[in-house]
Structures are given as C-alpha cells and as structure tokens.
C-alpha cells in the first residue's frame, strides 16, 4: 500500500481561526480523504505554532503565562478542525516535549555537518538588522517600504524594528547552488508554477546567512548547549513536520511517511518552506519533502481582510448559516486553487442553490423518490442495459483516472467541475429517458433506467465524498449502501447496489435550497 503524508502549516496562536485557516486545512482534508478512499496509507497532520516573541507579547498583554495563553488559543484551532469535519491523524503543538526534543536534535544534526563549501553550518555572531515581530521574520533594507506615517514596513505590511543581539547563524549562502540544483531535479517541488518562478528568482539573486537564534526574549526552544539563546521560531516551527513522524528516531514506525508528499501553505510563507526548510534538512542529512503548494488569499466582497476593517470572515458563522458541506464545496469550487479568491454571500448562495440544490440535490431527490414510489421502496432489477446505460455509468466510474491526476496537482476546482459534468449528464439522462412515462409504457425499461440512475448517484457520491463527506454519507445511508462498499474499489455498475435492497425510508433532501431568513 503506497503512503501519503500531507501537512497543513501549523497555525500561529496569536489570533482566532479565520477563513484562511479553514481553507488550507480543508484542502489537506480533501486530499487525505481522497487518498484513503483510493487505498493509500495516509498520514494527515495539522497543529499550532506556539513559540516566539509575538506569543510572548500577546500573553503578557493579557497578563497570563505564555503556556496558559497557548493552551487556550490552541484549543480554538481544534474546535475549527472538529467544526469543519477535518480527518487529521495528528494535531501537533510546538510546546510538546516530543517537539522540543526533535528541534534540538535537528539543530545538533545541522551543527554537526558541513556546508557544501566545507564550512560549519552554524556559527555564532552578532545580528543587526530589521525584524518584523508579526511575521517573525528578518528583512533586508532593500525589501522594506515606507508606511503612511514614515515607518518602515516589511513586504507583508508588518512594521519592522531594528534588532541587535548575539545570534547563531545558519550558513544559508553556502546552500544556494544545492537548492537551485534541487529545484531543477525536482520540477514539481514548488507549485503553482508562478510561485516556483518566484522562489528560483529569489535564490538566484543570492542568499544571506540566516539568524537562527534570539536572546532578547525567552519563549521558545533552548539552543542545545547554550540556553541563553532560543531557537528562531521558524526553525522550531518547520521541524514539526518531522517531529510528527518520529524524528529523531528514524526507527519509529511513523518515519515510513517521510519525506512528506505535500506541505500545503499560504503564499505568504512559501519562502520559509521552499528555501529555508529544504536547506535545513539537507544540512541535517534528511531528505526534503516532495512538494510544497502555496495557495492564494481570500478577500471579502472585494476588500482585503483585516481586523481593522472589521471584515474578518468567521468560518464557524458560515458553517452555522449555510451548512458544513456547502461551505466546504464553495471554498474549493469557487476559484482555481492557487489563485486569490473573493468571498461573497451572493456567491455561496449561488453555489448552494445552483450546483448543490438544483443539480445534485434535485437529481438524488427525484430519482430516489421515483424508486420509493414505483419500485416498492427497493432498488429495482436492472434487466438489460442498453449501450447508452453502460456508457453513462461507466463514464462516471472511469473519471477516477483523471481525478487522480487533478488531485495530485491540487486542482480541486477542476476535479469538482469534472464531477459536475457527470451530474449534468445524469440530469439529462433522467429527462431523456423519462421514467415517469416508462412507468405506463414499459415498466421493465423503467426499472432498468432507475437502477442505472441509482448506480450513477452511488458513483457520483463516491467521487464527491472527499469534498462533502457528511452529505454523501446521507446519500449512501438513504440508498442502504453498505459501509464496506464506500471506497473507490466499488466504482462501476456492478460493485455496490444489490437489487431488492430497501431504501432507508422516504427520501429526504440532501441539499435543501437556501432561503435567507427575514431580518438576517
């Protein structure tokens, strides 16, 4: 059984979960569910990043201990994962003892090795430069811009401050050629292509050595053999991906999952994952991950999302308002994954009432209702399939090959477009075959048509279940599809529906139309 290891970034505990967190983790959840249904041995990791100056300051502002602060905020991200029905296998926190041990182990491994230039990877110096607390990142003078009040800003818009302190440095400059060769040898390592080009251009422009320790605050992982220093929060955070699969014990049963198949990240943290992280790993003698995908950001009704504008999108509210699976569907169907997207209530209602209620929901409701009324509430016999019947259902099942390619590329919107083409074909098949007319003119043919449609719905539900697992479970349950027959090995005309199987009562709508409540 082939393995598949997918990770979210670990989310920084300085704020409440928002739509961006839901979006990133949803993409990983859909991939994990798809791969499991396809017979892969999956490991799906998420968690929280809990160290750094930003957390220490936020805790002090609230008058609480940093550990107590992170305990509370980390729980909010678990609540989001549960509310969104994310099927993660491990939720890591960087304050856990296993992670602290892993961080210190990778530091020692990096320090023990030599750079490609034959020099020590880590050395002690003094850092003097610009640092953005919000980003927990260092910036050069050339990267800065002037703010409206004359303040210096990072490219992300975060204010920077001048920092001078003793620091250990990672000799990143010596790894430039190794990184460029790695990108060349692994063309799919960074996606989408536009992001890959950005990273290669950045590295070709020359790399500076990277400050990887701090002494001006205390909330972090102590540097091995020098507890006056704590590790740079990004070296600490990035190591979570190997901590969760047993590092530093490569004899651990979970180490079989490394290297990760996919790190899913937002575009703002691509440099850390596509430049610093593979360099750290190479220096420590560990294989880099296979792929990093950097997706875009959401705006709200055309406006950039920010707390100051008061337009932060709360995923909990959207789940309550529109339902979990419609919200999941909207996020991955609305825009090409990797691009920026604009959220609007009008757009989600359009998807809910159009794609879900009118197309898929109506298909299920009218077909299952006809079976319930005209076939004694049982899956009818199939009798003799026509060539069109066979091509119709087999075409749905055969699309798994194209879906596999699209999912490996993280082309979620195209995967859903493909499935919905089959939904459209199924609705046209109903209209063309007109089983309500066959009921009088050719009841035997009516039974074959309804059986064919039931198989089409079952196959469509299988393909859609990674995206909307709860809704598809309701379809399977209404059709009395056995739990053991809800994997991709059961795609096709003869793998799931037994003639004479009773439906589980009168069919109920899976995707009711959304009607705005008065005064909402």
Q: Please report where in the chains the tokens 């995707």 appear, as a residue.
A: 511
β-strand partners of 223: 226
Are 138 and 164 within 8 A, CB to CB? Answer: no
Residue 136 pLDDT: 78
pTM: predicted TM-score of the whole model, two decimal places: 0.94
CA–CA distance, 7 with 44 (Å, rounded to integer): 6
pLDDT tens digits, residue range 3-52? 999 999 999 887 788 898 999 999 999 999 999 999 999 999 999 999 98
pLDDT tens digits, residue range 196-243? 999 999 999 999 999 999 998 899 999 999 999 999 999 999 999 999
pLDDT tens digits, residue range 356-372? 999 999 999 999 999 99
Given a cut of 50, is residue 520 above it in pLDDT? no
Residue 134 pLDDT: 82
Residue 299 pLDDT: 83
pLDDT tens digits, residue range 395-404? 999 999 999 9
CA 284 to the chain's CA centroid: 27
| One-letter-per-residue 3-state SS of 4-40 | EEEECCCEECCCCCCHHHHHHHHHHHHHHHHHHHCCC
Residue 131 pLDDT: 86
CA–CA distance, 383 with 445 (Å, rounded to integer): 8
Helix or strand (DSSP H, E) at 163: strand 161-170
CA 404 to the chain's CA centroid: 16
Q: Where are the domains of the chain?
A: 3-296, 345-490
CA–CA distance, 190 with 262 (Å, rounded to integer): 10
Are 294 and 270 within 8 A, CB to CB? Answer: yes
pLDDT tens digits, residue range 282-302? 999 999 999 999 999 888 877
Look at domain 3-296 and name its CATH class: alpha beta
Residue 519 pLDDT: 45
Return the structure tokens found at 447: 């039974």
Given a cut of 80, is residue 516 above it in pLDDT? no
CA–CA distance, 70 with 112 (Å, rounded to integer): 32
Cα angle vertex 26, ends 25, 32, to 5°?
Answer: 90
Mean pLDDT along residues 109-116: 96
Per the rule left: phi > 0, alpha: psi between -120 and 50, beta: everything else, 136 is left
Query: Which numeric CATH code is attached to 345-490?
Result: 1.10.730.10
Q: Please report where in the chains the tokens 């048509």 appear, as a residue.
A: 449
pLDDT tens digits, residue range 445-492? 999 999 999 999 999 999 999 999 999 999 999 999 999 999 999 999
Are 252 and 282 within 8 A, CB to CB? Answer: no
């Amino acid at each position: 059984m082939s393995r598949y290891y997918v990770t979210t970034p670990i989310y920084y505990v300085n704020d409440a979960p928002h739509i961006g967190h839901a979006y990133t983790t949803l993409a990983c959840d859909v991939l994990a569910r798809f791969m499991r249904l396809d017979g892969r041995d999956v490991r799906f990791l998420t968690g929280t990043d809990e160290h750094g100056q930003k957390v220490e300051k936020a805790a002090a502002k609230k008058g609480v201990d940093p550990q107590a602060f992170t305990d509370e905020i980390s729980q909010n991200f678990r609540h989001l994962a549960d509310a969104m029905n994310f099927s993660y296998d491990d939720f890591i926190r960087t304050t856990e003892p296993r992670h602290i041990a892993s961080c210190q182990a990778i530091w020692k491994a990096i320090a023990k090795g030599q750079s490609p230039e034959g020099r020590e990877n880590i050395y002690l110096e003094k850092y003097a430069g610009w640092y953005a607390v919000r980003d927990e990142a260092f910036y050069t003078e050339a990267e800065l811009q002037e703010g409206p009040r004359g303040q210096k800003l990072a490219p992300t818009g975060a204010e920077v401050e001048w920092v001078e302190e003793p620091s250990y440095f990672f000799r990143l400059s010596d790894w430039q050629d190794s990184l460029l060769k790695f990108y060349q040898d692994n063309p799919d390592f960074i996606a989408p292509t536009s992001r890959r080009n950005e990273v290669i251009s950045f590295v070709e422009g020359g790399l500076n050595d990277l400050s990887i320790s701090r002494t001006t605050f205390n909330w972090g992982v102590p540097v091995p053999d020098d507890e006056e220093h704590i590790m740079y929060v990004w070296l600490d955070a990035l190591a979570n991906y190997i901590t969760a699969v047993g590092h530093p014990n490569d004899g651990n049963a979970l180490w079989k999952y490394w290297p990760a198949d996919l790190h899913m990240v937002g575009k703002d943290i691509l440099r850390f994952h596509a430049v610093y992280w593979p360099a750290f790993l190479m220096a420590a003698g560990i294989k880099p991950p296979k792929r990093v995908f950097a997706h875009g950001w959401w705006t709200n009704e055309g406006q950039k999302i920010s707390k100051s504008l008061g337009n932060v999108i709360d995923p909990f509210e959207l789940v309550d308002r529109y339902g979990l699976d419609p919200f999941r569907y909207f996020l991955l169907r609305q825009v090409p994954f990797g691009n920026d997207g604009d959220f609007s209530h009008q757009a989600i209602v359009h998807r809910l009432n159009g794609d879900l209620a009118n197309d898929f929901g109506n298909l299920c409701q009218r077909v299952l209702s006809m079976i319930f009324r005209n076939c004694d509430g049982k899956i009818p016999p199939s009798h003799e399939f026509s060539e069109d019947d066979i091509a119709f259902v087999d075409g749905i099942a055969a699309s798994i090959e194209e879906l596999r390619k699209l999912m490996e590329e993280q082309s979620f919107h195209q995967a859903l477009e493909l499935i919905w083409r089959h939904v459209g074909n199924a609705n046209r098949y109903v209209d063309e075959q007109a089983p309500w007319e066959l009921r009088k003119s050719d009841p035997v043919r009516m039974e074959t048509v309804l059986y064919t449609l039931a198989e089409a719905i079952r196959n469509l539900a299988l393909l859609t279940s990674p995206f909307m697992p709860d809704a598809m479970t309701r379809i399977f349950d209404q059709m009395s599809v056995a739990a053991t027959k809800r994997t991709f090995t059961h795609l096709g005309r003869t793998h799931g529906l037994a003639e004479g199987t009773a439906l589980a009562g009168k069919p109920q709508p899976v995707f009711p139309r959304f009607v705005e409540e008065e005064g909402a």
